[in-house]
Amino acid sequence: MSTPPPPLPEDITALQKHVCVACGAQAEWNASRQRLVCPFCGTESAYVPTEGTGPIAERDLDHALAETDALHRGWKAETRSVQCRSCKAVMVFEAARVGQNCEFCGSPALVDYASIKPPITPSSLLPFRVSEAQVRETVRHWFSSKWLAPNAFKRKALVDTLRGLYIPYWTFDARVHCPWRAEAGYHYYEKQGNNQVRRTRWVPASGVVDHFFDDMLVPGTTGIDRGLLAQVEPFPTQELLPYDTAYLSGHVVEQYQIVLTDAAEQGLAHMHAQLRQMCADQVPGDTYQNLQIAPSWSGRTFKHVLVPVYVMTYNYGRQSYQVVVNASNGRMGGTYPVSWVKVALIIVFVLIVLMIVNR
């Protein structure tokens, strides 16, 4: 019998209202002030989100995979899930907001998303730490630094399309005991005529790796390119706070599309790849071959968390490009158009220099 998972967080609404005490409008989380602030009158809310006093509870992964129907699920909110027909991102909106454009790619083509099962409730999140003003300045500097981009591109006020939202992630922990064996290769040299020829002597080798994987991140979104997310990772999971709707106020929250089963497989594959490299690093000698590992996993746990990002998707010509900013630490990744005229000029210049040098 597996150990039952820890108690799940209290049922609370993902887009719950946090009313301004002065004017009654919806107060929103302000990254600069780290408090709820009314966007209309500027009043700071008396409500202060509770800081975490200890580690966020991990959930038993094996139990969850075997008993998924028993897990507490859903946002428990008067909301609707919609899916973008263009980039396939799934978002959770209040019913009155489903007509707005996609927060990921800007497309207006949003349709109702009929989820087979409601989502697992997030247990924790990272609040917005970087303000929108800081991000806009960072993006402007990034645009201006791309000297291979077309000049017309740099003049566009693309930061107007910047949006802040929460995207889903899974984190996985696991302990592993992994015996390994391989053939360790030691190089030596033999003289053949006037040349030194390298040879390799192979000898059996073996060992054990014991390791604890902590917070292996697997994105639950498909609305952002995985390569761009890799550029802004890692998210500081050591700063996770208990799930609190105050941090979500004023932001769109995306519902995960990578389900727990698939995310767990991805997480295990990432761990296995890292584990194999750890074993390879233990093999003595100059090289190795026929490495075999036999991992034994235990203590597998997971968390469903929300992380803050700023996303900007824009079109230039016939192509679509995206910029992503980690709203916890400001790390940025993005794609941009390249001027082939400038590239051609660089190639011509290099060829001219080579011709001069080789004269």
For 124, list phi and psi in degrees, rounded to 5: -160, 170
Is residue 131 pLDDT above 50, yes or no?
yes
For β-strands 287-293 and 124-125, DSSP reports them as: unpaired
Give the pLDDT score at 12. Answer: 31
141 or 108: whose pLDDT is higher? 141
C-alpha closest to that of 167 among 218, 214, 213: 218
Give the pLDDT score at 98. Answer: 45
Give the pLDDT score at 71. Answer: 47
Overall pTM > 0.75: yes
User: Looking up tokens 């910047």, which residue turns up?
Assistant: 162
Mean pLDDT of the chain: 81
Share of the chain above pLDDT 70, in %: 80
Q: Tokens standing for 189?
A: 């040299």
CA dihedral 273→300→60→120, nearest 10 degrees, is -10
Task: Measure the CA–CA gap between 264 and 171, rounded to whole angstroms.
Answer: 9
- Three-state secondary-structure class, residue 112: strand
Q: Tokens standing for 93?
A: 């909106």
Task: Measure the CA–CA gap between 350 and 347, rounded to whole angstroms.
Answer: 5
Under 8 Å between Cβ of 60 and 92: no
Q: Span 43-59, mean pLDDT? A: 68
Contacts of 177 by beta carbon, 8 Å cutoff, 6+ apart: 208, 209, 210, 295, 296, 298
Q: What are the counts of helices (DSSP H) followed by strands (DSSP E) for the chain? A: 7, 15
Least confident of 210-219, 257-266, 296-305: 257-266
Instruction: Quickly state the pLDDT bin for 116 (edges 50, 70, 90).
Output: very low
Task: Measure the CA–CA gap between 15 and 79, rounded to whole angstroms.
Answer: 8
